[in-house]
Amino acid sequence: MTATAHAVARLRTARLARSAKPFLARGGIKGVRCTGCRLVPIHCICALRPEVPTHAGVCLLMADIEPLKPSNTGWLIADVVADTFAFGWARTEVDPALLELLADPQWQPYVVFPGEFVEPQRVVTQLIEIDPTDQTSARTRPLFVLLDATWPEARKMFRKSPYLDRFPVLSLEPDQVSRYRLRRSRRDDHFCTSEVAALCLDMAGEPRAAQTLEAWLDVFTHHYLQAKHQLPADLESDAHHRLRGLRVRIA
């Protein structure tokens, strides 16, 4: 299926155009992939793709090769949340469109990052309450800024992005462990990017969007791993049933 050119897809295309040689992912699926979902055609899930109207938005700051990785889950956020923005991160330059987005008066940006690594005065654990009758507060929509990278890369990005210093840091305190199975992590409290986005959406009072994103991650993971092991997908799995139920409720 032809890909819908959401923000991460466009960033991937731009990054590929700058590459001197083809990007070869380690392990995983080999051969031709669908441009819409990054899976082999027989496992394509484009027809299952959900989209949920949300008041909140997501801004992805992506490490250099992150948009190229087939296992990247920032892509899944852009599948589900229409107001997803994606920018490549570089230490020496900043995309003017990113600065324009952060300055847009409709958005209240939150940098999502563990509070233990941040000055206490910047850390919040809940969203800032906005009085809808207050005409002086134009920033009424939360914009979750996620650093889409490995943990060492994310820490460097956080330290070396001074344009983010004026925004509150949202520190999440989830009580569950990560279910992500496509890359290894030494800690159960390290969440993949789409899991973090789902937690943020739930905090923003958008549980249906959060649940849909969780189900979409599970469906993608199932198809990815089945394709990797050259096995058929189980379209009656719990993840598929959950996604179908959410799609009916959305419709």
Tell whether the model's pLDDT for residue 43 goes beyond 50.
yes
For residue 191, what pLDDT is reported?
A: 87
Residue 196 lies in a domain: yes
Tell whether the model's pLDDT for residue 136 goes beyond 90.
no
Q: Which two tokens stand for residue 180?
A: 């992500």
Q: Tell me what the mean pLDDT of segment 49-58 comes to.
A: 95
For residue 128, what pLDDT is reported?
A: 86
> Could you tell me the pLDDT band of residue 129, with boundaries at 50, 70 and 90?
confident
Note whether 11 and 87 are within 8 A (CB). Answer: yes
Residue 229 lies in a domain: yes
Residue 91 lies in a domain: yes
Neighbour tally for 159: CB within 10 Å: 10
Judged on CB neighbours under 10 Å (0-12, 13-18, 19+), 153 is: middle
Residue 212 lies in a domain: yes
Domain count, the chain: 1
Residue 61 domain boundaries? 7-128+136-250
Q: Tell me what the mean pLDDT of segment 43-60 comes to.
A: 96
Least reliable range by pLDDT among 25-39, 86-100, 232-246: 25-39
What is the C-alpha R_g of the chain? 18
Note whether 141 and 104 are within 8 A (CB). Answer: no
d(CA 59, CA 153): 17
Residue 93 lies in a domain: yes
d(CA 74, CA 150): 12
d(CA 29, CA 9): 19
Of 140, 120, 136, nearest in space to 128 by CA: 140
Reported as a single tens digit per residue, the pLDDT across 180-190 is: 555 554 444 56
Residue 1 lies in a domain: no
DSSP 78: H
Q: Tell me what the mean pLDDT of segment 115-132 comes to.
A: 86
Residue 2 lies in a domain: no
The amino acid at 141: R
Judged on CB neighbours under 10 Å (0-12, 13-18, 19+), 3 is: middle
d(CA 251, CA 247): 6
Tell whether the model's pLDDT for residue 1 goes beyond 50.
no
Residue 38 lies in a domain: yes
Helix (H) / strand (E) containing 212: helix 207-228
